[in-house]
Copies of this chain bind each other. A is one copy, B any other.
Amino acid sequence: MKIVFVGAGNLATNLCLALNSAGHEVVQVYSRTMDSAHALAQRVGAQATNDVAELATNADIYIIGVTDSALKEVSSLVVSHIETERGTGRMPLIVHTAGSIPMDVIGTDRCGVLYPMQTFSRNRIVEFSNIPIFIEANHEADLNVLQGLSASISTSVRVLSSDDRRYLHLAAVFCSNFVNHCYTLTAEILERKGIDFSAMLPLIDEVAAKVHELAPKDAQTGPARRCDTNVMQAQADLLSYDPRIQEIYRIMSKSIMHD
């Protein structure tokens, strides 16, 4: 499988390295900036470019891993370029990696999605093997291609429609982005008292570990779970210095009580 990567951000980098390690040939990496394209391309022995007009047109699959807001425009440029160059020849498979965007944003018949559900950071290389990958394609044969490609890097591959993937991505926002924001608010509260955030790590780890064994609802503890209004009122009062955090405290507590 000859692969072209369009995008060299956190997700694209991690996915590209995993596919390369699994023996797939990454022939080219495109990024808006040549530095980013080079940085990833040299790690997998690929050519680098920052010009869509120079994209290789002989690859089997194009993986577009750019930010959600740029996806439509970049897809359109990639498809136009390949259509122009290939003329009446058969189009390759073009997929994106975004959780919240429907497959048809790509705007060509041989389209698909390969969504690895994980949070990626540039300087953390994550182990792909247990990351669930959710795939979708317009044609059965292409779905088989994505199944094989995904199975070469992950033990958890599942077909999911664009419609259902929107909910999956929304759920991921809650257990990833909102959870991390709770950590941020924790750090802000502790900073005022000169307590280092690292004191919370054993607690954070245990809360995450618990839901491997218990349904989250059954794992819930704390003042709101016990409907302890005295503690809740006292804690809300402690936050009077910041109405934004105080509002989050009240709304989360109310939601726990009513759940």
Is A100 an interface position by the 8 A CB rule? yes
Is A90 an interface position by the 8 A CB rule? no
- Closest chain-B Cβ to A123's Cβ sits at a distance in Å of 8
Extra contacts besides A118-B202, A164-B193 (13): CB < 8 Å: A69-B226, A119-B206, A156-B199, A164-B195, A171-B190, A177-B220, A178-B252, A179-B207, A184-B216, A207-B208, A245-B255, A248-B252, A251-B251
Chain B residues with CB below 8 A from A172, complex form: 186, 200, 203
Chain A 102-115: CB-based contact to B (< 8 A → 1; otherwise 0):
00000000000000
Chain B residues with CB below 8 A from A181, complex form: 216, 220, 252, 255-256, 259
Instruction: Give 22 CB contacts A-B under 8 Å.
Output: A67-B228, A100-B223, A100-B234, A119-B221, A121-B214, A124-B210, A130-B202, A156-B199, A158-B199, A167-B190, A168-B195, A170-B235, A170-B239, A174-B186, A177-B223, A180-B210, A180-B219, A180-B221, A182-B182, A197-B211, A197-B216, A204-B211
Chain B residues with CB below 8 A from A174, complex form: 182-183, 185-186, 189, 249
Is A88 an interface position by the 8 A CB rule? no
Q: How many residues of A contact B (CB 8 A)?
A: 91
- Closest chain-B Cβ to A130's Cβ sits at a distance in Å of 5
Whether B248 and A177, one on each chain, are in contact in the complex, defined by CB atoms closer than 8 angstroms, is: no
Whether B202 and A132, one on each chain, are in contact in the complex, defined by CB atoms closer than 8 angstroms, is: yes
Is A187 an interface position by the 8 A CB rule? yes
- Docked Cα-Cα span, A247 to B248, in Å, equals 10
- Closest chain-B Cβ to A6's Cβ sits at a distance in Å of 18
- Closest chain-B Cβ to A248's Cβ sits at a distance in Å of 6
Q: When the two chains form the complex, which single residue of B193, B211, B215 contacts A167, counting CB atoms closer than 8 Å?
A: B193
In the complex with contacts A203-B172, A210-B121, A177-B69 CB distance below 8 A: no
Whether B183 and A216, one on each chain, are in contact in the complex, defined by CB atoms closer than 8 angstroms, is: yes
Chain A 47-71: CB-based contact to B (< 8 A → 1; otherwise 0):
0000000000000000000011100
Is A143 an interface position by the 8 A CB rule? no
Whether A175 and B207, one on each chain, are in contact in the complex, defined by CB atoms closer than 8 angstroms, is: yes
Q: Smallest CB-CB separation from A11: which chain B residue?
A: B221
Q: When the two chains form the complex, which single residue of B69, B126, B214, B220 contacts A206, counting CB atoms closer than 8 Å?
A: B126
Chain B residues with CB below 8 A from A166, complex form: 234-235, 238
Whether A177 and B256, one on each chain, are in contact in the complex, defined by CB atoms closer than 8 angstroms, is: yes
